[in-house]
A and B are shown apart, each in its own frame.
Chain A
Amino acid sequence: RTSRPAHAASGGREGWIPQDQDTKQCDYWRHCSIDGNICDCCGGSLTNCPPGTRLSPSSWVASCYNPGDKQSYLIAYRDCCGKNVCGRCGCLNTEGELPVYRPEFANDIIWCFGAEDDAMTYHCTISPIVGKAS
């Protein structure tokens, strides 16, 4: 992504060791394919955008392993848009990430398509569960 800092905070495909205690840390299990900033650190939460930002209806998806219950879940990451990049809790993880020609799994894209007021500026990312991984 061009408008967000790429912090390779917890490495990539090698050595990903997720934890289920601290949602603000880059190694929190739901952030296994996040690219950008964790909204929880930016006035939002794990699943809600910070005030004043616009939730994008589009998303990318990853299958993340939850060490708590030892199950894998699908996380559909969604960007909160319309304000300058948050700057806190920068994080880049790439578990299961695929190139942009497989956009459903590509986290380099600014996934602000369709955000209200055509807000295409990236602020932060939320990590909601949308299903069980098959």
Chain B
Amino acid sequence: MKAETVARGGAEQNNWKRRIGVIILPALAVLTAPLFLNVPTSASQNVQLKPIEQLGARLFFDTNLSKNRTQSCATCHNPEYAFTDPRESAAGRAVSMGDEAGAMGDRNTPTLMYSHMTPPLTKHENGKITGGLFWDGRADNLQEQAKGPMLNPLEMNMPDGASVAERIRENADYAVLFKQLFGDDVFSDPEKVFDAAAQALAAYQSTAEFSPFDSKYDRVLRGEEKFTSLEDFGRQVFLTWNCQLCHRPIRSGGDLSTELFTSFEYHNIGLPVNPKARELSGKGSDYVDTGLNSGTHVADPAQAGKFKVATLRNVAVTGPYMHNGVFDKLRTSIEFYNKYTSLQPAAQINPETGKPWGDAEVPENLSTFQLKTGLALSDYRIKALEAFLRTLTDKRYEHLMPEMGQ
């Protein structure tokens, strides 16, 4: 499985390389030509990248930044799949395989689309915590986040920042570029190189390619298209039911044309363990993922079990769902919320397994106010919500959408 994956990853990379001429040629006119050959970027977005963004794009696709040189950022955050991981492992797509044979993560690889718009982790006076990257918010910004996977033994597996700097140094093109962008003395300190690489990766992920706002939803708001009646009803349900309490489209004082469908808050919605993913992660049956309280950035039992509210943009093409990829279908993810409001016995059953949803991995700190609205979603409303959520798919990923309910 792993060998196949690597081969496929390589083929994809070559594919990117074939396409880059279209994007890069204008840049070559103003930049040192040999340095920017083979810069992969999205063929679907005719975006001209600044030099630091182009460097970030090169690093993003560079498998040399993993210990065994088998994977890059793009291996798990594949741009063809809304920057999520399309590779199948023994746990399906729930979690991602790392650079080291057998290494598996314990959380689902989230999309990078729109992630640069995430505010830093902030602890508010009312005790609420918002923002931050990763499912548990442990990185304040993309630059900080970018270092995580490179050094994570279950991911790209580099031992330290100095080793990453060494890999960068191997590449003569990089050496010139890093000096151009970060100063002649950048290689005097490996940490400086590592920081600079993270900065370039963050710059790339902050380009318009990652936040096109060209979904049907955006097009409808701009008056270019119309919702179907089902989509329109789905939006009404979304805005009047409890969805909007957390996947609030409007950030306080935010721009209505750049809604991200997350409040960036942290909530425990009582999800069960994903047994297969947990088993493969090797963390053991006693392990509990306490989310926001699982690192050193937040040490507060009252935050245990809470995870960041994900953006719902591109949700229809970034399954499986939730922090542990426990649900394969978008429809199931919507139905899960009925567990808290419906008195129907069927609402206690996960339709994907035919068994009860399972106990919450962390039964404490449930967001009961948001979850127990007293109103259950009818089948038609579930369909409508799914139809609405599908309109949040960026144009370049619309072809990936499975049939409704799948």
Contacts and interface: CB of A to CB of B under 8 A. Distances in A.
Q: Do they bind each other?
A: yes
Interface of A: 57-61, 73-74, 76, 103-105, 113-114, 116, 129-132, 134
Interface string B236-273: 11011110110011100000110100000000000000
Given A57-B245, A104-B236, A114 B374 contact: yes
B240 A131 contact: no
Interface centre among B227, B240, B256, B259 (most CB of A within 10 A): B240
A103 to B, nearest CB: 8
Contact of B240 (A59, A129, A134): A59
B359 to A, nearest CB: 23
Nearest to B219: A134
Contacts of A105: 236
B259 to A, nearest CB: 7
A130 B244 contact: yes
A22 to B, nearest CB: 22
A132 B256 contact: yes
Contacts, number: 60
Given A114-B372, A130-B250, A134-B235, A61 B259 contact: no
Nearest to A56: B373
Nearest to A129: B250
Contacts of A73: 256
A103 B235 CA distance: 14
A78 to B, nearest CB: 9
Nearest to B374: A113
B259 A131 contact: yes
16 contacts: A57-B370, A58-B240, A58-B375, A59-B239, A74-B239, A113-B373, A114-B242, A114-B373, A114-B374, A129-B256, A130-B250, A131-B239, A131-B256, A132-B256, A132-B257, A134-B226
B227 A130 contact: no
B220 interface: yes
A74 B375 CA distance: 21
Contacts of A76: 239-240, 244
B221 interface: yes
A130 B249 contact: yes
What 9 A-B pairs are tightest by C-beta distance, nearest first? A114-B373, A113-B374, A104-B236, A114-B374, A104-B240, A57-B373, A134-B220, A59-B240, A130-B239
Interface centre among A57, A105, A129 (most CB of B within 10 A): A57
A99 to B, nearest CB: 15
Contacts of A61: 236, 239-240
Contacts of B248: 130
Contacts of A59: 239-240
A113 B237 contact: no
A57 B242 contact: yes
B230 to A, nearest CB: 13
Contacts of A132: 221, 256-257
B232 interface: yes
Contacts of B259: 131
B294 to A, nearest CB: 27
B229 to A, nearest CB: 12
Given A114-B373, A131-B239, 7 more contacts: A57-B370, A73-B256, A76-B240, A104-B233, A104-B236, A113-B374, A114-B242
B369 interface: yes
Interface centre among B242, B248, B250 (most CB of A within 10 A): B250
Contacts of B256: 73, 129, 131-132
